[in-house]
């Protein structure tokens, strides 16, 4: 017989969710604040959303962040999936330990070290920092997360499905496209969304790899904090929260539609 949650468990759960989501709810609420002070409620107003439309610097930074996140997450998904296949399907090849260690290093390495290393690399190669250097940095960070997610899916993959397809005359490419890819697609999508979110959130690596005209939104917000934050920051943060939430809901809906009928 199942027992319901005890009051203590409910209280701990409520405190945990409150700690995570109450600050986000307050940010959304104060984006509709009529007062110029972000901590003083002055009544409901959409003034700061209207002011945001005229803040070209903030909008440009948000657009840079979205472009960087989109490009880097796609690249990280492709490279991370290839790396996961190499680790799972290629057996004990020479240099596997070094390869795996290089992939997993960003998971435990401080971002400041990654950013500084990339800065030294770009300076040493004479590469001008800008949009593509930020993309390179975020791809480096994101592909290790994609690799972990896709590798976990491949480790439990039923290889007999691929063997059956090839026994029926399918080429390796056709087997991958018709059998393997649809089955690992949810893991790839999860890794892509994770890389996208990490890129949007990143400040440290972007601050080392950015150049003139490639300021991301976290960098812009940090610069404005020292001069005084206006509710415009709350407004654009609310729009980004809505955008990311819409993507996550869309991904959940796609996975639900892909789920076989009658499955648990």
Flag the least confident range among 165-174, 233-242, 245-254. Answer: 245-254
Is 50 exceeded by the pLDDT of residue 264? no
Distances (CA, A) of 197 to 59, 145, 159, 191, 247: 18, 11, 32, 10, 11
- CA dihedral 28→233→250→248, nearest 10 degrees, is -80
Average pLDDT over residues 177-203: 89
Mean pLDDT of the 72-83 span: 94
Q: Using an 8 Å Cβ cutoff, are 72 and 139 in contact? A: yes
What's the DSSP call for residue 145?
Answer: H
User: CB atoms < 10 A from the CB of 200, how many?
Assistant: 22
Average pLDDT, the chain: 85
pLDDT of residue 24: 86
CA–CA dist 93, 200 (Å, integer): 35
Give residue 71's pLDDT band: very low, low, confident or very high (50, 70, 90). Answer: very high
Of 33, 35, 143, nearest to 87 by C-alpha is 143
So what's the pLDDT on residue 261? 46
The CATH number assigned to the domain with range 56-258 reads 1.10.3720.10
Tokens of 109: 């390495």
**What's the pLDDT score for residue 262?**
42
pLDDT for the residue 259: 62
CA 156/CA 151 separation, integer angstroms? 9
Confidence band, pLDDT 50/70/90 cuts, at residue 4:
low
Residue pair 218/206 in contact by the 8 Å Cβ criterion: yes
The alpha-helical segments, DSSP class H, found in 54-203 are 56-89, 96-108, 111-125, 131-155, 159-167, 172-175, 181-201
pLDDT digits over 106-165, tens only? 888 888 999 999 999 999 999 999 899 999 999 999 999 999 999 999 888 888 888 888
Q: pLDDT at position 64, please? A: 92
Residue 54 three-state SS: coil
């Amino acid at each position: 017989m199942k027992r319901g949650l005890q009051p203590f468990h409910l209280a701990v759960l409520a405190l945990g969710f409150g700690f995570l989501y109450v600050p986000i709810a307050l940010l959304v609420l104060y984006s509709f604040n009529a007062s110029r002070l972000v901590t003083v409620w002055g009544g409901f107003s959409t003034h700061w959303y209207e002011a945001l439309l005229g803040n070209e610097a903030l909008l440009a930074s948000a657009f840079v962040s979205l472009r960087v996140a989109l490009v880097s997450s796609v690249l990280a998904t492709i490279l991370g999936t290839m790396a996961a296949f190499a680790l799972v399907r290629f057996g004990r090849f020479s240099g596997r330990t070094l390869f795996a260690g290089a992939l997993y290093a960003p998971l435990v390495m401080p971002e400041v070290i990654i950013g500084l290393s990339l800065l030294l690399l770009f300076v040493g190669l004479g590469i001008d920092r800008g949009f593509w250097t930020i993309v390179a940095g975020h791809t480096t960070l994101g592909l290790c997360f994609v690799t972990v997610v896709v590798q976990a899916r491949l480790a439990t993959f039923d290889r007999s499905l691929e063997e059956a397809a090839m026994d029926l005359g399918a080429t390796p490419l056709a087997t991958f496209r018709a059998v393997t890819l649809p089955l690992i697609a949810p893991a790839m999508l999860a890794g892509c969304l994770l890389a996208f979110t990490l890129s949007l959130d990143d400040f440290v690596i972007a601050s080392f790899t950015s150049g003139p005209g490639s300021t991301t939104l976290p960098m812009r917000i940090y610069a404005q904090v020292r001069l005084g934050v206006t509710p415009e920051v709350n407004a654009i943060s609310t729009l980004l929260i809505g955008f990311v939430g819409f993507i996550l809901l869309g991904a959940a809906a796609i996975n639900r539609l892909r789920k076989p009928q009658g499955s648990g």
